[in-house]
Structure 1
Amino acid sequence: MKLIVTNEAEEVLIQRIGYKKSFIITSLNPRDYRVADRGPCAKGSHFQIIPRLAENRFNEQYKWIIENEQFRVYVAQSDVELLGEWITIEFNHLLNSFTLKNEHHILDHNIKLKDYFFS
């Protein structure tokens, strides 16, 4: 798995969690991921980004590491298949949220950083 973080998304993530820090990308309902292509509109509809602020808070469930130069990114085994091989995170300034895509389609249009408010 490979993760591309656009410049805009990188700036926001660095402001919120710091450079070379880690975070988790997790689906909110991995059993029903097929709804992701229906165009989520609510905040955190299908995925969320959780900053990993303390090493001891790391859950054993999130042990898969996605390759990325800027951040250390963890995912659960249950999310590996639905994320795909090439994942992109973009930041939408209009919505003040992230967009998560894979090589086939948009996975979620409106992801917020857990416990952070942009507006």
Structure 2
Amino acid sequence: MEITLTRNAMDILKEKAGTHSKLALALIDSKDPFLRDKGACAKGSFFQIIPFLTEFGQYVTRIEHPSLDIYTSQNEQCYLGKSLIMDYDQRLNSFSLENEIAVLDHNIKLNNCFFS
């Protein structure tokens, strides 16, 4: 599985999460104790981006990208497909995610980061 980030998406992720942060692409699911302990909450319609500096819990499935460390879990992997594209909309202050078949989410927020 791989992800392509537009220049806008890449710039915002590096600016808001930091270049040394690892990112988890996760479904919005408050039942997951690992995410709940990290303060994860509904930030998008279906997915959320969570920056981590250390442990990832079950989020160990790497999504290939040349310059960012992005992970997901086996549970989320079945929803994502093989080839992802992420963009950032300045006007909406949110990311969009699509795979080779359809748009997966058009309103993803970066968890614990203030955009306005």
TM range (shorter): 0.7 to 0.9
Q: Match of 1:32? A: none
Q: Match of 1:98? A: 95
Structure 1: tracts of 5 or more residues without a match: 30-41
Instruction: Please state which structure has a larger fraction of its residues in helix.
Output: 1
Letter in 1 for 2:10: E
CA-to-aligned-CA distance 1:68-93 (integer Å, 9 cap, x gap): 01211110101111100001110001
The aligned length equals 104
Against the structure 1 CA distance between its residues 44 and 91, is the aligned structure 2 distance closer, same or farther, given a 3 Å change threshold? Answer: same
CA-to-aligned-CA distance 1:32-85 (integer Å, 9 cap, x gap): xxxxxxxxxx951100000012x1x321x1110011012111101011111000
Structure 2: tracts of 5 or more residues without a match: 30-41
Q: Does 1:116 align with 2:113?
A: yes
Q: Give the TM-score normalised by structure 1.
A: 0.81
Q: CA RMSD in A?
A: 1.5
> 2:97–2:105: 8 Å Cα contact kept in structure 1?
yes
2:20, 2:11 → 1: CA distance? 12
Secondary structure, in 3 states, of the residue corresponding to 1:80? Answer: helix
Letter in 2 for 1:78: N
> 1:20–1:70: 8 Å Cα contact kept in structure 2?
no
Alignment of 1:1-119 (within 5 A): 1-19=1-19, 21-29=21-29, 43-53=43-53, 55=54, 57-59=55-57, 61-119=58-116
Secondary structure, in 3 states, of the residue corresponding to 1:79? Answer: helix
Q: Give the TM-score normalised by structure 2.
A: 0.83
Against the structure 1 CA distance between its residues 106 and 13, is the aligned structure 2 distance closer, same or farther, given a 3 Å change threshold? Answer: same
